[in-house]
Amino acid sequence: MAADGQGVTGLPEALDEIRRWRQEERLDMAAHHAENRSEMEALRREMLALSSAVKTAFPGGDFDGHRRYHELLIAREEQRQMIRREVITHLLKGSTWAMLLGLFYMVIKHAKDFLK
């Protein structure tokens, strides 16, 4: 750029270049914005489809009833496990007492034979 009596030469070309660059940036940003909007719209449609699929998964749309049903199943399973533990504990106690009584009987019988 050379200076002349009126100002700097080449300044209008530089300003035009800056304007072209800014216009290209605006167009590029607008293209990205449109692409992002279409991606977001596709995601929104997918989420709405998923949401409606989840809503139709419950009989009559009864979310609370569905939850209560599963809570009932969980409570039943916990009760079964508790009964199983109690039965096993009872069997172990009974077997232990039976074994001790049998051992006591054998000791008494052997002591009786030994003392004769």
Band of the pLDDT at 1, cuts 50, 70, 90? very low
- The pTM (predicted TM-score) of the whole model is 0.45
**What pLDDT was estimated at residue 98?**
95
Residue 101 and residue 94 in contact, taking contact as beta carbons nearer than 8 Å: no
Q: Tell me, rounded to whole angstroms, the distance of Cα 114 from its chain centroid.
A: 72
* CA dist., res. 88 & res. 62, Å (int): 39
* Structure-block tokens of residue 86: 């109690």
Instruction: Determine the 3-state secondary structure of 10 from DSSP.
Output: coil
pLDDT beyond 80 at 5? no
Mean pLDDT within 70-94:
96
pLDDT digit string, tens, across residues 32-41: 888 888 889 9
* CA dist., res. 105 & res. 88, Å (int): 25
User: Cα-Cα-Cα-Cα dihedral of 93, 98, 104, 106, to 10°?
Assistant: -150
pLDDT digit string, tens, across residues 13-34: 888 889 999 999 998 898 888 8
